[in-house]
Amino acid sequence: MSTRGTIKQGLRRRLAAASALAMGAALAVAIPTTADAAAARVDNPYVGAKAYVNPDWSAKAAAEPGGAAIANTPAFVWMDRIAAIGGTPGAMSLREHLDTALDQGANLFQVVIYDLPGRDCAALASNGELGPTELDRYKSDYIDPISEILADPAYANLRIVTIIEPDSLPNIVTNAGGTAGSTDACATMKANGNYEKGIGYALHTLGAIPNVYNYVDAAHHGWLGWDTNMAPAGLEFKKAATSEGATVNDVAGFIVNTANYSALKEPNFKVTDSVNGTTVRQSKWVDWNYYVDELSFAQALRTQLVGQGFNSNIGMLIDTARNGWGGADRPTSAGPLTSVDAYVNGGRVDRRIHAGNWCNQSGAGIGERPTTAPEPGIDAYVWAKPPGESDGNSQPEDNDEGKGFDRMCDPTYEGNGRNGNSKTGALPNAPLAGHWFSAQFQELVRNAYPPINGGGENPGGGTDTQAPTAPTGLTSTAKTSSSVSLSWSASSDNKAVTGYDVYRGGTKVGSTTTTSYTDTGLSASTAYSYTVKAKDAAGNVSAASSALSVTTSAGGGTGTGSLKVQYKNNDSSATDNQIRFGLQLVNTGSTAVDLSTVKLRYWFTPESGSSTFGTSCDYAVLGCGKLSLAVKSGGTAAGASHYLEVSFGSGTLAAGASTGEMQLRLNKSDWSNFNEADDYSHGTGTSFADASKVGVYTAGALSWGTAP
């Protein structure tokens, strides 16, 4: 009998025993067991969770100058080799970590699954111990023992979040042949399929454990943000998620920016900006990418993955441990308008030499602290790569961990095709990947954004112990049958308010850096109580605002209301290969509107080229999963031979409410160019305005706009 069979049978026996106890409880009072106390599976494992703090990492962080302020921050535990499961010198075993999590009273445990055959075929620093063909050993000696431990009923009340194999599937897309960054090792892994098979096996095996939530690594915007990479990546993820017995139901979501440095948000410029007629996309830094930061990339990737067949409730994680880019060099505005490169380089907060640089980056800083549900579609900001753990050694170093010397970790290296033949920007004197790098940790703390002001490390002197004032004026600005939109007046603080936590019925449901938030996934005709707390960079939290009770709208309404649509142009080029625009639907009437009866039409002409089309929703306040997009023939009128039709699956739009922004785009299947200038619905305004040439149809009848 194989090892996997023994483990799976053991798991089935434990689940059967728990089921027998549950049935017995219906007949008599049963003695409680740990398994009986297991928490029900939830949509977002981070909501209402207390996450585990790794004592191994915490002690090292606390010993560094400034480290006490963040030493109690939850971060992932890495299982980066078989020996790590049983523990290595200076690091606890997986079981010891889980036992310690229980001792801490945590109900969330985070672990990285990272030991594929031929691991990281494009970077020697993170090569693994298993050869390209050792798939069977990966299953029997690595995944199966981890599965057996995680399935122990003693841990059934822990939500266990896994990151499945960073730096694997994206390499198959971009580095397995035909590009400047390709390697023979990646071509081998593409040919033998062991990345897909290994990940499929991990998803299937770990996904069988009821309290495990699998998140698949999905690289970052500077790797997959181009259409030529992003769509093929989605197909590759789907292939792996349906291999070796796995299904999309084994995937809770995806994570971007794992162990990387890409900025969460670029606040000083947009990808749609232009300088002297040249778009930001044409700058050397952006290099025709459609995304300039991780948040926009993660939200767009989520939409595409749902379109590829993943479940509509998948969530995204973003690793923010080292993408803060603060300190004195952080720009506060865009660069000069002398050229698009000067504009972008002067304003970008990501100060790397090249977005392809990934090893121990000089000038980087701690990023956003772990935060639950900070933005639509984002389950959490997390610290996947604990700050202070090296990305790789800067000089050759003998070791028994299977880790090679990668020149991208050498500050003297002049680069390769994957980073535009640029200098690496790596720090000197770095140890092996995963080993403690004191100099890097101290630099990350100094350059943190938001700044680290607590723990006696207040740059202005002294310890900041003063909490912000409580938010006031909490009100509901809109509601539907499944959502409530809130706003409030800003709090004040002796230093600075860095964000707000939103609570529903005493449970934190999300965080925001603005004074507004939309809570989704609610039930119709149900009363909910909300409060808001402000926080500062030192971790001080205000008292709660006054409570606000909001009752969601009734579901299934049939009112038609009075509707209008607003439009803005999201693409400064009228002759490229995509049409990109934003729409929002507004109910100006006094009754709610049943959105399932509403369709929007944007008319255009494709000119020459393919007669079939691709469509995408990059972002929508109400969630891209609630929209359906289709291109249809629309007649022979000038500028209107076709139209993009937008449908809403369900829900209601309350009187006086707006759907909020929906960022949409379409392309011809052959990716030939459009000429949008003569399109019926095309406009040049970059701010939302009423659009009489975008039609709103209610129950099949035109209720807004003029049809061509």
Percentages (nearest 5) of helix, strand, coil residues in the chain: 25, 25, 50
Inter-residue contact 87 to 149 (CB < 8 Å): no
Helix (H) or strand (E) holding 232: helix 227-241
Query: Cα 432–435–439 angle (5° rounding)?
Result: 95
Residue 260 forms beta bridges with which residues? none
Which amino acid, residue 52?
Y
Hey, how many other C-beta atoms are within 10 angstroms of the C-beta on 67?
23
Nearest Cα to 700, choosing from 554, 560, 582, 605?
A: 560
Length of the chain in terms of residues written: 708
Q: Tokens 């799976």 identify what position?
A: 8
Q: How far is it, in rounded angstroms, from Cα 586 to Cα 621?
A: 13
Inter-residue contact 77 to 114 (CB < 8 Å): no
Catalytic site positions: 167, 391
Nearest Cα to 618, choosing from 272, 194, 171, 142?
A: 272
Burial class (CB in 10 A: 0-12, 13-18, 19+), 527: exposed
Nearest Cα to 647, choosing from 577, 700, 578?
A: 700
Hey, how many other C-beta atoms are within 10 angstroms of the C-beta on 660?
18
Q: How far is it, in rounded angstroms, from Cα 635 to Cα 639?
A: 10
Going by C-beta distance under 8 Å and a sequence separation of 6 or more, which residues neighbour residue 137? 117, 130
Q: How far is it, in rounded angstroms, from Cα 529 to Cα 402?
A: 54
Going by C-beta distance under 8 Å and a sequence separation of 6 or more, which residues neighbour residue 429? 394, 439
Residue 613 forms beta bridges with which residues? 668
Instruction: Extract the tokens encoding 75.
Output: 């971060």
**HEC assignment per residue over 320-387:** CCCCCCCCCCCCCCCCCCCCHHHHHHHHCCCCCCCCCCCCCECCCCCCCCCEECCCCCEEEEECCCCC
Instruction: Extract the tokens encoding 589.
Output: 């009437």
Hey, how many other C-beta atoms are within 10 angstroms of the C-beta on 514?
9
